[in-house]
Structure 1
Amino acid sequence: MGQYLAVGLRLKATVSKEKQLEGKSIEEILGKVEDKYNLSEIYERREEETYYEYSIKKEVLDKELVPLIEKFYALRYTKDERTDATNVIGALKALPDTSARLELLNDRRFQTYQAGDDMEYFHLDIFPPMKIRVCSCNAILSIDGKIAMECYGRVFDFFSRCIAVQLQEFALSKALTVWIDG
């Protein structure tokens, strides 16, 4: 199994409640995490016993999921490329609602529309320095590989920002993320 360069939507993110957070301003720390991962107004935050969970609001997904994917595919894939993007759009439009469209991710029958997870540590610039584990559940919209990279975080942030600018008419563009999957 290899690693692949993936681009997709961060549907859900969980932020671990680390022991080292005790005594710190949780709202300040979560604010820094929210800024870093663009967990903006399109996400709802829920507190659980051992983590905070951010999920994209249902009304945003209902309104923008298919239109954003259509425009993303038009930007990402050329007419000469052999992809299943056209089949994905047809399948998504044939499904009755967003829940069914998100369930399709788990079938993994499309290369350009499948579930993917990512986990990384966010290093906080506070004293004393600390890192917080952030796990994401994503909808893969593009996956290419195999890839091997070291120290890739800043360039992936750049890729994410560039893609979001191209799709800025969609609130969901704030949920786009780039990572190495596998």
Structure 2
Amino acid sequence: MGQYLAVGLRLKASVRKEKQHDGKSVGEILGKVEDKYNLSEIYERREEETYYEYSIKKEVLDKELVPLIEKFYALRYTKAERTDAANVIETLKALPDTSARLELLNDRRYQTYQAGDDMDYFYIDVFPPMEIRVCSYNAILSIDGKIAMECYGRVFDFFGRCIAAQLQEFALSKALTVWIDGNSLILFCFLIFQTSKWYCY
């Protein structure tokens, strides 16, 4: 098992409830987290006993999930690359609704469409600095590796902004995220030339 460079959509995020800190209200602290991770416009916030959970609005996913993935794949993968992206699109279009498409992530049948988790730490500029942990459940659309990096937050922010700029006609581009993933199942695919079909192990 190793770590991989992943690009995908942050479908859900959870943020532990924090108390007022250094004159900053709970609302101000939460606002900074929402700004940092784009958790406002296309997400719904639900308050639980000990944390806030953010989920992408169903109407945004219904409208944009498949079109955004199609365009992302066209940008990310060349025709010469042997990926399962075309199979993913075909399968997603055949499924009846968004719930079924999201459920497919958990099957981890595809390298270019699987579930992935990420945990990030955001430091609010107060004294002493306040650490906020943001846990995300993501749809992986690209995963490569292995990778080992330190102090990568700023460059990953840059990668994320560049990718989102290519997909800015989609509101869902605000959910794009880049992270190092160490938990995903990587499928090793090879082409059987006699049948021209993909087989993944």
Could you tell me how far apart the structure 1 residues matched to 2:57 and 2:180 are? 25
Asked if the contact 2:105–2:113 (Cα under 8 Å) also holds between the matched residues in 1, the reply is: yes
Asked if the contact 2:38–2:174 (Cα under 8 Å) also holds between the matched residues in 1, the reply is: yes
1:20 is displaced (CA, Å) by 7.0
SS in 1 for 2:38: coil
- In the alignment, what sits opposite 1:157? 157
Q: Does 1:135 align with 2:135?
A: yes
With over 3 angstroms needed to count, the CA separation of the structure-2 counterparts of 1:7 and 1:55, relative to structure 1, is: same
With over 3 angstroms needed to count, the CA separation of the structure-2 counterparts of 1:92 and 1:22, relative to structure 1, is: farther
Q: TM-score, normalised by structure 1?
A: 0.97
- In the alignment, what sits opposite 1:44? 44
1:22 is displaced (CA, Å) by 9.7
List gaps (5 residues or longer) in structure 1.
Answer: none
Could you tell me how far apart the structure 1 residues matched to 2:48 and 2:24 are? 18
- In the alignment, what sits opposite 1:62? 62
Asked if the contact 1:20–1:130 (Cα under 8 Å) also holds between the matched residues in 2, the reply is: no
Larger Rg: 2
Q: Which amino acid in structure 2 is aligned with residue 134 of structure 1? A: V
With over 3 angstroms needed to count, the CA separation of the structure-2 counterparts of 1:16 and 1:22, relative to structure 1, is: farther
Q: Which amino acid in structure 1 is aligned with residue 166 of structure 2? A: Q
Asked if the contact 2:160–2:177 (Cα under 8 Å) also holds between the matched residues in 1, the reply is: yes
Higher RCO structure, 1 or 2 (CA under 8 Å, sep 6+): 1
Percentage identity across paired residues of the two chains:
90
- In the alignment, what sits opposite 1:126? 126
With over 3 angstroms needed to count, the CA separation of the structure-2 counterparts of 1:24 and 1:49, relative to structure 1, is: farther
- In the alignment, what sits opposite 1:109? 109
Q: Which amino acid in structure 2 is aligned with residue 62 of structure 1? A: D
Q: Which amino acid in structure 2 is aligned with residue 100 of structure 1? A: A
- In the alignment, what sits opposite 1:8? 8
Asked if the contact 1:40–1:174 (Cα under 8 Å) also holds between the matched residues in 2, the reply is: no
1:36 is displaced (CA, Å) by 0.7
Question: How many residues get paired?
Answer: 182
Q: TM-score, normalised by structure 2?
A: 0.88
Asked if the contact 1:123–1:131 (Cα under 8 Å) also holds between the matched residues in 2, the reply is: yes
- In the alignment, what sits opposite 1:175? 175
Q: Which amino acid in structure 2 is aligned with residue 98 of structure 1? A: T
SS in 2 for 1:6: strand
SS in 2 for 1:122: strand
1:127 is displaced (CA, Å) by 2.6
For residues 4-29 of structure 1, what are the alpha-carbon distances to aligned partners after superposition, in whole Å with 9 as ceiling and x for unaligned? 00000000000012467597411111
Q: Which has the higher helix share?
A: 1
List gaps (5 residues or longer) in structure 2.
Answer: 183-201
CA RMSD of aligned residues (A): 1.3
Asked if the contact 1:84–1:111 (Cα under 8 Å) also holds between the matched residues in 2, the reply is: yes
